[in-house]
Structure 1
Amino acid sequence: MKVVRYLLSVLSLFIVLTAYAPKSDADAVLGTWLNGTKKGHVQIYKQGGTYFGKLVWLGQPNDPATGKPRVDDKNADHSKRTRPLMNMVLMYNFKYDGGNVWSDGKIYNPEDGKEYNCKMTLQNPNTLLVRGYVGISLLGKTQTWTRVK
């Protein structure tokens, strides 16, 4: 009888602990984020089973010299240097790993015209850590992004 009571107690404890375990939410990253340089807003969205991000707001949308909308003038591919920055997809192919981490993605930095491997970690509902790196994650830089809406 003691064994039965002990097993029932353990089973009850297990049920209580798992009933209140936080649920993983792959779509928690969706929304609009102020990037780490505070120069732009990136909207993260889901397409198919992967996550993407596009530039939807710029603090300085027009080139001060020409007065025209900013373009991707630092791109290594000369044929892409005239494309507008607004609504450009900067992030792509992120997969949810669980534990508030999205990885295996790429991020394009229009300030230097280079593309980097990238991983995102949702620190809390309004703070996203975005790490761009070359090769391995150890060789990179992390920016803190803040949710806009």
Structure 2
Amino acid sequence: MTCRYVFTTAILAALLTAPSARAQGAGDATGTWLTQAGDARVRVSKCGSGICGVIVGLKDPLDPATGKPQVDDKNPNPALKKRPMIGLPLFSGMHPTGTSKWSGQIYNADDGSTYASNISVTAADTLRVEGCVGALCGGENWTRVGR
């Protein structure tokens, strides 16, 4: 089982089973965050008036089948299938929707799809990452590991 599979499975499970939570929190989303499953680190930075998120580390950066760095092989665009997972942008179009809240899209590398997403800082070191598949929404909490 690859790290990417675990990471994506955790996000999809949260999307399909967790109730939507919109707890308000004050804080800055920029920094490095560890996913709830602990299998990936994501750096969040300012992008214009919004935020961007990029994978900067994986618990298991190598594909066990090939021994090579994991790539975005589920992407439907053949030109993007060989891009490395480390450095892969996850958030796009994340614009502010309130105090410490953003909305936009999140990319799912396990199926190569992009979903509607909401991000919010719920505590100084907690980032709530939510997404929706149709009318089903859910999410998970990420923990800050660096500024």
Do both share a fold (TM > 0.5)? yes
Counterpart Cα distance in 2 of 1:134 and 1:31: 27
Counterpart Cα distance in 2 of 1:34 and 1:50: 20
The alignment status of 1:127 with 2:126, answered yes or no, reads yes
Counterpart Cα distance in 2 of 1:124 and 1:41: 18
Aligned counterpart, 2:14: none
Aligned counterpart, 2:139: 142
Aligned counterpart, 2:15: none
Aligned counterpart, 1:67: 67
Aligned counterpart, 1:86: 86
The alpha carbon displacement at 1:135 in A equals: 4.4
Amino acid of the structure 1 residue aligned with 2:38: K
Deviations 1:32-51 (A, max 9, x none): 00112321000000122221
| TM-score, structure 2 as length reference | 0.76
Q: What is the percentage of aligned positions where both structures have the same residue?
A: 39
Report the 3-state secondary structure (helix = DSSP H, G, I; strand = E; otherwise coil) of the residue aligned with 1:148: strand
Report the 3-state secondary structure (helix = DSSP H, G, I; strand = E; otherwise coil) of the residue aligned with 1:89: coil
Report the 3-state secondary structure (helix = DSSP H, G, I; strand = E; otherwise coil) of the residue aligned with 1:79: helix
Question: Given that residues 50 and 102 in structure 2 are in contact (C-alpha distance below 8 angstroms), is that contact kept between their aligned partners in structure 1?
Answer: no
Deviations 1:31-71 (A, max 9, x none): 00011232100000012222100000000111111111100
Counterpart Cα distance in 1 of 2:99 and 2:55: 26
Deviations 1:102-128 (A, max 9, x none): 11x111011222111100121101111
- With over 3 angstroms needed to count, the CA separation of the structure-2 counterparts of 1:35 and 1:74, relative to structure 1, is same
Higher relative contact order (CA 8 A, sep 6+): 2
| TM-score, structure 1 as length reference | 0.75
Q: Which has the higher helix share?
A: 1
Aligned counterpart, 1:21: none
The alpha carbon displacement at 1:147 in A equals: 0.6
* Structure 1: runs of 5+ lacking an equivalent: 1-23
Amino acid of the structure 2 residue aligned with 1:45: S
Counterpart Cα distance in 1 of 2:134 and 2:49: 24
* Structure 2: runs of 5+ lacking an equivalent: 1-24
